[in-house]
Amino acid sequence: MVKKIESKITGFKVKTEEVEAMRVATPEESEAHMQKAEVVRMHESVQRPDMLVGSTYKVKTPVTEHAMYITINDIILNEDTEHEQRRPFEVFINSKNMDNFQWVVALTRLISAVFRKGGDTTFMVEELKAVFDPKGGYFKPGGIFMPSIVAEIGHCIERHMQMIGMIKSDNLDDHQKEFLAKKRAEIEAAQGASDGKKLDKGEFPDSATVCSKCSTKAVVLMDGCMTCLNCGDSKCG
């Protein structure tokens, strides 16, 4: 910014870190510095309060007889300030099925420890989702492929982190949804008319293959290009 000097220069001083450190801060700068210093970040020394805000997710898989209930408790940092944050603090998994009790307890303790460590804990989602069961995975309603129960837990944590704003959701905009719905209707008319079968909401054509991006069995040949009817991912860009 150019500033016109209208008076005679009687002296000058070069602005350095030492000079800036000696400068007396204004009241506004002092208040801003104090507020910044009081901002609490997530780290392992943060004490657990008496009450945490939690969400419980029910997970039913075809490979287990009983459902799992995954509870993720969040701690609210800097409550009622402009720096308020909601961060995962601990996780619990409960089920009537006790076959996997040992590794479930070990996994929840490790995940909770990473949560309390602070920093960017979103990396755990991809690590858990990348775990494959040697016996093979399974498909959830809607054609979503799950390579393992651990991966399902990872998807559950991802959904929770999206809800509290730690992970940006990949939801399609209205234009993309309208386009995919139109193309899906065309494919239903072409492939479903032969056997008279109408797809229910959330289902995709039987000829669809698994999408490498969203792991949903929804990839079909559309306009000469393999396209996912669930997330919109296309090999043609």
Give residue 33's pLDDT band: very low, low, confident or very high (50, 70, 90).
very low
128-163 burial, b if ≥16 CB within 10 A, otherwise e?
bbeeeeeeebbebeebbebbbbbbbbbbbbbbbbee
Sort residue 69 into left (φ over 0), alpha (ψ -120 to 50) or beta. Answer: beta
Give residue 34's pLDDT band: very low, low, confident or very high (50, 70, 90).
very low
Residue 230 has pLDDT above 50, yes or no: yes
d(CA 139, CA 61): 9
Residue 36 has pLDDT above 90, yes or no: no
* Mean pLDDT (whole number) for 167-190: 71
Determine what percent of the chain falls in helix, strand and coil, rounding each to the nearest 5: 30, 20, 45
d(CA 62, CA 138): 7
Residue 213 has pLDDT above 70, yes or no: yes
Residue 42 has pLDDT above 80, yes or no: yes
* Mean pLDDT (whole number) for 218-236: 79
Residue 45 has pLDDT above 90, yes or no: no
Element (H, E) at 232: none
What global pTM score does this model have? 0.66
DSSP track, 73-116:
EEEEESTTSTT-EEEEEEEEEEES--TTHHHHHHHHHHHHHHHH
Tokens for 99, please give them. 């076959």
- The answer to whether 208 and 215 are in contact (CB under 8 A) is no
Q: Which of 169 and 126 is assigned the larger pLDDT?
A: 126
Share above pLDDT 70 across residues of the chain, in percent, rounded to a whole number? 79
In this predicted structure, what is the pLDDT of residue 70?
96
d(CA 197, CA 70): 36
Residue 164 identity (one-letter amino acid): I
pLDDT tens across 119-164, in order?
Answer: 899 999 999 999 999 888 888 877 788 999 999 999 999 999 999 9
β partners of residue 222: 225
Angle at 166 between CA 181 and CA 214, to 5 degrees: 35
Residue 21 identity (one-letter amino acid): A
In this predicted structure, what is the pLDDT of residue 7?
81
Give residue 196's pLDDT band: very low, low, confident or very high (50, 70, 90).
low
